[in-house]
Chains A and B, each alone.
Chain A
Amino acid sequence: MFMATLVLTILGFTLGSALAFAAKVFAVAESNPIVEEIEAMLPNSQCGQCGFAGCKPAAEAMADGSADPTCCPPGGRALAERVAELLGIDINTLGESAAPQLASIDESLCTGCTRCYKACPTDAIVGANKQIHAVIKSACTGCGKCLDACPEDCIHLGAETPDLHNWQWPKPMVA
């Protein structure tokens, strides 16, 4: 009995010390760079469409799994894919991301109050005081902040309409 105890003790002690030593040799700097990486990927326009207070809380939620990578509408599918890859999630298990939206200004109603372009986090609206504003499609993330800012209610969000330049083949349906 004594022998058995002794052997196991020695064995445990030896292995434990060896492991402790190995842990020292192969030590890895402990940090969670994932949140920061995700945050860097996000639009950082703090639009709040995801339901979080800003992009950093959203990044934290995505990192710990409480939010889907698809939760950021302005980032769209491209962002969702990158986040999913970083987190090691199979993108195909995620639902469809919302189609990217673009703001458009109804020129007949716009009074040129400049409120929308002050609210735009990406400076996607151009115009000057008392002049009709316009949206630059390539810079608009569809965050919708201008909608809230517009006193005339003349801004709408909608999916991009297909034209000959951005039209693409649909997926064939095969039995």
Chain B
Amino acid sequence: MDRALFPDGVERCSFGKFVLWMGFISAFFLFGLYAMLLIFYKGIVVTGLDNYFGFGLWITFDLAVIALGAGAFFTGFLKYILKIDQLKNIINLTVIVGFICYSGAMLVLTMDIGQPIRAWFGYWHPNVHSMLTEVIFCITCYCLVLVIEFVPLVLEQKQLNKIPFLHHLAHNMHVNMALFAGIGAFLSTFHQGSLGGMYGVLQGRPYAFREGFFIWPWTFFLFVLSAVGCGPIFTVLCCTLMEKMTGRKLVDFKTKALMGKIAGTMLTVYIFFKILDTWAWANNYLPSVGMTFDQMFYGVIYGKWLMFTEIILCGLVPAIMLITPSIRNNPTLLYTAGILDCIGISLNRYLFTVQSIAMPILPFDNWQFYAPNWAEWATSGMIVAYGILVMSLSYRYLPVFPQERGMNK
């Protein structure tokens, strides 16, 4: 019945089936929404956060999705600035993924602060020394950029596009997309970095603190690299997942492999510096504050295995897999590497968030434990559900994949 709204010449599942699917996802969304409203009403006392863990699942989740959403700005940068034309096959998807990740992250942040009514203080009374201020500015600005990048795609929807004004608008926006891509790349680089900087400047948290260059601790640069090292491949994984679910070819493997190569290259650079950084941290910084590498870990849940998983299994390994053409060009291995990559980066964000504040700094204090409660899970789930909803709608009604028509003849 909604066939008239489909992009030209493509097949979509029956409306009933679609409604069913959307209903299923909406259930999660609504549950999360309930949790969110409860949090606004009662305050974050309803979460599992406490005096030791002011940061928890939410911040980890934010950092992870923002890193994974980095595909948008980086691919955009390559496509529009470095003019790698082949990326046009997947650029739309990266934009949508980016948009979902960033808008989602912002929603979580408004929940995460104790006084949402004052959220705007971040702009009105900014502290220019705070990495967080920088994050607030760039994330919101970049989110706007993503909206601008998303709009033309929406306007190209078959029916809307019939309206001359909208048609021209979309066209003109496309023409200037390079500009937005440029701005996006700039903004994004900075806040990805600042997210890392946020932890790097924590002088009281030896696990996270890093020396650095000028005002930027090393984590600043490591976070940028790690983001671009996983963003592109995450888009590929999303795309592949959609292909598996819809049973239609959406992007040719050549493009995916290219994305893999891009991610792989960046990941390699990242992991190289990450290892250097970790080495210097363990052998130089820690002793200078009277601590040892072993003191940074505890038991199983804060064990060393986490760091090794992050750096070796989910860092070095996927990096090698992705830069080796023979491996990269095998779909299964590409996806495996991609998954490892994404896990590694998310784990990195988790460790910087939770491990660094779980660790006792006062010699007479103890390790503390944190478990997110239902409210945090539900709201995080809500963001995921929201993402799936947006993605489903976009896939069904928008011309996201230029190759789809040709590939599914």
Q: Do A and B come from one complex?
A: no
B-contacting residues of A (Cβ < 8 Å)? none
